[in-house]
């Protein structure tokens, strides 16, 4: 408590500051109370209260109250004119501030200032003075669980399984207790049974909307939550977006307790591009011969094949069902590609040397696009070799049959 003596007329101005909490956590709203008392025998004029809050506090506009009268447009940062103080008069000012971060010391300390003037000798010659209040201190803690959610796929289609990993990190200074983990899964996916685990320990009988208590986390420690979902359908946004959250309890040193909710921020939210998938399996057989510059075949050792998609385009078709039961949706995807084939064989020579021959075999096919296809949608197409069969016919030729899967993912509906 600071006291300023005004000698000429035996006047005392006392400025007292208090706060409604001794302990707080980042995010809390705290309420300050400033009382100014004229204990002298002279009128004090033009009293202005200023409180330049420390950087860890954010003033809440509209929170100022002077002697039970709200002052919604006033700010203690720029100063509040409370008028004059008669001898013996007390005026009380309150305002609120939000704790936005924790200082390195762990404590927020600050004081207020009152500026005023008075007529010391009653000769209309005003003297200007200022008074500093006592320092108030609040211990600040952090109650925060950081959520980092990742998926093992960037793109998924109907029937695909997406594995999620969620890391819950206690980045605060207090133990996070009784943590309730929540993930409201979107309607396009459903949880795969018996895949939900906490730090590798399975938890069964989880519903579609995940609400599971996963334990407590000490400061600096973490919990890993994993689970898998299967894609059931597409949507017009072309994305699966879901944000996990946790609801937990905490205790501060004076025995007070609180509850906190932490959510994924925009940089820690898992997004999976969602596509419609259509596929076709085809077999390409052929009789191939070794180039004439190569020696004869004694035995084929191995064959390697890579399917490359060169180009594709969409054509319109009738929307009908054929006599054989084939359904035409109105659009087909024409696919053209090439099979890059490499045959390794042992020659029918005295040296038994090993040779290879390369072939580029073109192919073309089509896929019927689903009825939800929209013209102009991005299509991601892939050819995958599923089976390779080969057999020697004679010393110059061999038979081969390649089975490939052509898979097209349409990235929006």
- Return the H-helix or E-strand segment holding 378: none
Residue 398 forms part of a structural domain = yes
- Indicate whether 6 and 59 sit together in one domain: yes
Number of H helices and number of E strands within the chain? 0, 32
Residue 22 forms part of a structural domain = yes
3-state secondary structure of 76: coil
- Indicate whether 162 and 243 sit together in one domain: yes
Domain residues for 80?
Answer: 2-141
Which of 249, 268, 287 is at the close of a domain?
268
Q: What are the residues whose beta carbons fall under 8 Å from the beta carbon of 17, sequence distance 6 or more?
A: 32, 33, 34, 35, 111, 112, 133, 134, 135, 136
**Which DSSP symbol is given to 328?**
P
Per-residue pLDDT of the chain (413 residues; tens, 9 = 90+): 344 444 455 458 899 999 999 999 999 999 999 999 999 888 899 999 999 999 999 999 999 999 999 999 999 999 999 999 999 999 999 999 999 999 999 999 999 999 999 887 666 777 888 999 999 999 999 999 999 999 998 878 778 899 999 999 999 999 999 999 999 888 889 999 999 999 999 998 887 789 999 999 999 999 999 999 998 877 666 778 888 899 999 998 777 888 998 887 654 557 787 766 788 999 999 999 999 999 999 999 999 999 999 999 999 888 888 777 777 778 899 999 999 999 999 999 999 999 999 999 999 999 988 776 778 777 888 999 999 999 999 999 999 999 999 988 776 55
- Indicate whether 214 and 294 sit together in one domain: no
Residue 171 forms part of a structural domain = yes
- Indicate whether 118 and 157 sit together in one domain: no
Residue 273 forms part of a structural domain = no
- Indicate whether 336 and 352 sit together in one domain: yes
Say what the pLDDT of residue 169 is: 96
What confidence tens digit (pLDDT) does each residue in 307-354 have? Answer: 999 999 999 888 888 777 777 778 899 999 999 999 999 999 999 999
Say what the pLDDT of residue 94 is: 97
Which of 233, 268, 303 is at the close of a domain?
268
What confidence tens digit (pLDDT) does each residue in 365-388 have? Answer: 999 887 767 787 778 889 999 999
- Indicate whether 191 and 89 sit together in one domain: no
Residue 283 forms part of a structural domain = yes
Nearest to 341, CA basis, from 309, 304, 308: 304
- Indicate whether 14 and 137 sit together in one domain: yes
- Indicate whether 165 and 102 sit together in one domain: no
- Indicate whether 19 and 137 sit together in one domain: yes
- Interatomic CA distance for residues 287 and 4, integer angstroms: 108
Nearest to 410, CA basis, from 113, 155, 128, 193: 155
* Average per-residue pLDDT for the chain: 89
Say what the pLDDT of residue 279 is: 85
DSSP-derived secondary structure for 338-376:
EEEEEEEEEESSTT--EEEEEEEEEEEEEEEPPTT--TT
Say what the pLDDT of residue 2 is: 40
- Indicate whether 158 and 30 sit together in one domain: no
Residue 349 forms part of a structural domain = yes
CB-based contact 408:367 (threshold 8 Å) = yes
Residue 87 forms part of a structural domain = yes
CATH code, domain with 156: 2.60.40.740
CB-based contact 3:10 (threshold 8 Å) = no
Which of 141, 169, 191 is at the close of a domain?
141
Say what the pLDDT of residue 325 is: 73
Number of domains into which the chain is organized: 3
Say what the pLDDT of residue 266 is: 53
Say what the pLDDT of residue 86 is: 92
Nearest to 361, CA basis, from 388, 334, 382, 380: 388
Residue 195 forms part of a structural domain = yes
- Indicate whether 343 and 389 sit together in one domain: yes
- Indicate whether 300 and 380 sit together in one domain: yes
- Interatomic CA distance for residues 132 and 301, integer angstroms: 93
Say what the pLDDT of residue 276 is: 65
């Amino acid at each position: 408590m600071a006291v300023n003596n005004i000698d000429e007329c035996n006047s005392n101005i006392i400025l007292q500051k208090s706060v409604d909490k001794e302990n707080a956590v980042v995010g809390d709203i705290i309420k300050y109370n400033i009382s100014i008392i004229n204990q002298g025998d002279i009128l004090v004029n033009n009293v202005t209260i200023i409180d330049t809050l420390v950087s860890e506090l954010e003033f809440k506009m509209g929170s100022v109250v002077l002697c039970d009268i709200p002052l919604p447009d006033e700010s203690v940062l720029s100063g509040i004119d409370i008028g004059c103080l008669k001898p013996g008069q007390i005026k009380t000012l309150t305002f609120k501030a939000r704790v936005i971060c924790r200082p390195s010391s762990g404590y927020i300390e600050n004081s207020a200032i009152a500026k005023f003037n008075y007529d010391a000798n009653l000769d209309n010659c005003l003297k200007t003075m200022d008074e500093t209040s006592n320092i108030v201190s609040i211990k600040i803690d952090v109650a925060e669980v950081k959520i980092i959610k990742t998926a093992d796929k960037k793109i998924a289609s109907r029937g695909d399984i997406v594995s999620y990993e969620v890391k819950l990190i206690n980045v605060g200074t207090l133990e996070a207790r009784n943590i309730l983990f929540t993930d409201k899964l979107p309607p396009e996916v459903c949880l795969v049974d018996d895949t939900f685990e906490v730090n590798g320990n399975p938890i069964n009988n989880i519903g579609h909307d995940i609400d599971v208590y996963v334990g407590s986390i000490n400061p600096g420690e973490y919990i890993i939550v994993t689970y898998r979902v299967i894609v059931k359908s597409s949507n017009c946004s072309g994305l699966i977006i879901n944000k996990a959250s946790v609801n937990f309890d905490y205790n501060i040193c004076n025995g007070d307790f609180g509850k906190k909710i932490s959510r994924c921020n925009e940089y820690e939210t898992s997004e999976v591009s969602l596509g419609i998938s259509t596929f076709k399996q085809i077999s390409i057989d052929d009789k191939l011969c070794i180039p004439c510059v190569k020696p004869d075949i004694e035995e084929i050792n191995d064959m390697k094949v890579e399917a490359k998609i060169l180009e594709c385009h969409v054509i319109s078709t009738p929307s009908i069902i054929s006599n054989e039961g084939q359904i035409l949706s109105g659009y087909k995807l024409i696919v053209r590609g090439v099979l890059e084939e490499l045959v390794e064989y042992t020659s029918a020579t005295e040296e038994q040397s090993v040779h290879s021959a390369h072939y580029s075999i073109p192919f073309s096919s089509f896929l019927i696009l689903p009825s939800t296809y929209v013209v102009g949608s991005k299509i991601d197409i892939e050819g995958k070799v599923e089976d390779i069969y080969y057999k020697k016919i004679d010393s110059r030729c061999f038979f081969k049959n390649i089975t490939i899967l052509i898979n097209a993912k349409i990235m929006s509906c």
